[in-house]
Amino acid sequence: MILSAAHTVPYHIPLTTPFATATGEVGVRSGWIVQIEDEAGRVGQGEWAPLPGWSPDVTQDGARAVQDALDLLRVAAQSTEMDALIKQIPGMFPGRPAMIFALETALLDLAAQASRQPLFRRLNAHAPAKVSLNAVLPLGELKQTVETAARRVGEGYRTLKLKIRGPDDEALLAALRARLGAEVALRLDANGAWDLPTAMAVMRQFEPYGIAYVEQPLPPGDDQALAELRREVGIAVAADESVSDMTSVKQLLEQEAMDVIILKPMIQGGLRACMEMARLAADADVLVVITTTLDTVVGRVAAAHLAAACGTLDLAHGLATGGFLAHDLAPDPLVVSGGVAELPVAPGLAISRIEG
């Protein structure tokens, strides 16, 4: 396969509501769609959108960073077969996981189109064509949050995720359980806000509410403390910000510091790296949840293909985030019904070409 052209499409999309992260609020999502074209006119697309505070490859001159990467890729492609080129991407861009995700996704999209396969089947020939989703609840006034939760459950979602601040949120959990019953799974995200004594106290306080897991209860960097917390409380512990690369995954597994691993391909460096991390986690009986960094349709659908290739239908993934964007770049090819997304069986990502 010969790569004949490469393009970028910049975007700046406001969020409908500012979204809280471990380092503050995100009000606008900005990035570039990378488009790589082959000699047959096929176009593979990927998304480069490092998230400030999360991604190590945030740079002031993003346009130059993307163009330099594409120039390097063109040179490498002249003497390298496609599968080999895809495998070389991480080594070409060390320490730049969002760039790896963008270029690898675009090349995998192209390769899957050339082989007439949906991307998830190119990643895993036995992958199901569906993934379950959790609904994300913005943290707001109690009554409004409960009403939003009830609406999402009415739409078919059986797993809800919400940001949590501390012991004062017990009233919200009690109201949610009173309204929704015990069958709906509740996932909580602390964004690394607590120290160990606080986390132990709060999670013990929340045990009566049947919490599926608490995501990143402690700041990243102390796997031993996370392991101690996991041993001492009755709620499962999920690692998110603690997961940065393969080394961090192996350390978390060695310390037995997590029940669940949260994988974001924009943060962990692409689809293939996340698949390997997921394999290691599954071998250790750690559950794998795939999610995004508030990506556009390109990054979000790529993550859905990854979830299908990695997981089972009975575990909900954090991919229902398109509604946080004021608008998107192209129609979403995922068909969502009853909290389940059906992936397109058209070749590649099945996303129409995004115009600048």
CA–chain centroid gap for 297, Å, is 12
| DSSP for 241-288, written as a single string | TT--SHHHHHHHHHHT--SEEEE-HHHHTSHHHHHHHHHHHHHTT-EE
Three-state DSSP class for 34?
Answer: strand
- Set 130, 143, 163, 250: catalytic member: 163
**Catalytic residue check, 130:** no
Helix-then-strand count for the chain, H and E: 12, 14
Residue 126 vs residues 56, 69, 89, 111, 113: alpha-carbon distances, Å? 34, 33, 25, 18, 18
Q: Which of 85, 88, 9 is nearest to 45 (CA)?
A: 9
Residue 286 vs residues 238, 257, 265, 267: alpha-carbon distances, Å? 9, 10, 18, 19
Q: What angle do CA 144, 313, 133 make, to 5 degrees?
A: 20
What does residue 210 show for φ and ψ, rounded to 5 degrees? 60, 50
**Catalytic residue check, 161:** no
Helices 223-232 and 196-206, axial angle in degrees (round to 10): 30
Residue 271 vs residues 22, 46, 202, 287, 331: alpha-carbon distances, Å? 24, 11, 35, 17, 22
- Set 87, 130, 143, 264: catalytic member: 264
Provide the annotated active-site residues: 163, 264
